[in-house]
Amino acid sequence: MPNPDIPPPNRTPRPEAPPPVRLDDRPVMALGSLGFGLTIPWLTGLYGPLTPRDGLYWVGTAGFIALAVAIWGGNRWLLFKQREHFDWFRHPWT
């Protein structure tokens, strides 16, 4: 049974979570993913002797574009999800 003479500890209320960020970056994501997916394999010579006339070249290109989209989307999700949990800019010392 709690002692009625002792008040409960004084807790500071947790600040509200920031509102969700609404950002439509689909055009930037499309251009960026295409840019990375097309240029990185080409600049590094990853395809070797394959040319655009080979079917394997296009399979590799589609794979790298899909990988770029997955990395971009994953980083975007982590950025906004982390902002929900750790709002460093509003409360850096809590």
Q: CA 15 to CA 72: how far, in whole Å?
A: 30
Whole-number pLDDT of residue 59: 96
Residue 93: CB atoms within 10 A of its CB come to: 4
Residue 70, CA atoms < 13 Å, CB-side half-sphere: 6
Would you say residue 14 has pLDDT above 90?
no
* Predicted TM-score (pTM) of this structure: 0.66
Whole-number pLDDT of residue 79: 82
pLDDT tens digits, 32-55: 999 999 999 999 999 999 999 999
- Mean pLDDT (whole number) for 8-23: 62
